[in-house]
Amino acid sequence: MEEGMTRGARVLIYSHDTFGLGHLRRCRTIAHWLVEQNKDMSVIILTGSPIIGSFNFRARVDFVRIPGVIKLRSGDYTSLSLLIDTEETLALRASIIKHTAEIFDPDIFIVDKEPLGLRGEVTETLEMLKARGTHLVLGLRDIMDEPAALVPEWQRKNVLPSLRDLYDQIWVYGLPQICDPLEGIDLPKSVRRKMVYTGYLHRSLPQGPEKPTPLHKIAAPYLLVTTGGGGDGEDVVDWVLRAYENDKRLPYPALLVLGPFMHSDRQAEFLARAAQLDKVEAITFDAQMEHLMSRAIGVVAMGGYNTFCEIVSFDKPALIIPRTRPRMEQYLRAAKAEELGLAAMLEDDGVRDWRRMATALRQLPQQSQPSEVVVPGLLDGLNNVNRLVQQALERGRRPASLRLAQRKR
What's the CA gap between 246 and 252, in Å, rounded?
14
* Alpha helices, H only, 222-300: 234-246, 264-275, 289-294
Helix (H, G, I), strand (E, B) or coil at 141: strand
Among 195, 174, 176, 207, smallest CA distance to 381 is for: 174
Q: Which residues are CB-contacts of 226 (< 8 A; sequence separation ≥ 6)? A: 257, 259, 289, 292, 293, 299, 300, 301, 302, 307
Which pTM value belongs to this model? 0.91
Lowest mean pLDDT among 72-81, 192-201, 341-350: 72-81
Least confident stretch, 14-28, 267-281, 282-296? 14-28
Report the pLDDT value the prediction gives residue 407, as an integer from 0 to 100: 58
User: Among residues 323, 409, 28, which one has the least CA distance to residue 201?
Assistant: 28
Phi, psi of 176 (to 5 degrees): -65, -30
Q: Average pLDDT in the 184-211 region?
A: 92
**Cβ contacts of 131 within 8 Å, gap of 6 or more:** 406, 409
Residue 136: Cβ within 10 Å count: 22
Q: Which of 82-91, 130-139, 242-251 is predicted least confidently?
A: 82-91
Q: Note whether 350 and 136 are within 8 A (CB).
A: no
Distance (Å, whole) CA 355 – CA 249: 12
Going by DSSP bridges, is the β-strand pair 280-283/254-257 parallel, antiparallel, or unpaired? Answer: parallel
Say whether pLDDT at 77 is over 80. Answer: no
* Predicted pLDDT of residue 369: 97
- Domains plus CATH for the chain? 9-202+379-407 (3.40.50.2000), 222-372 (3.40.50.2000)
**pLDDT 10s digits, 236-262:** 999 999 999 999 999 999 999 999 889
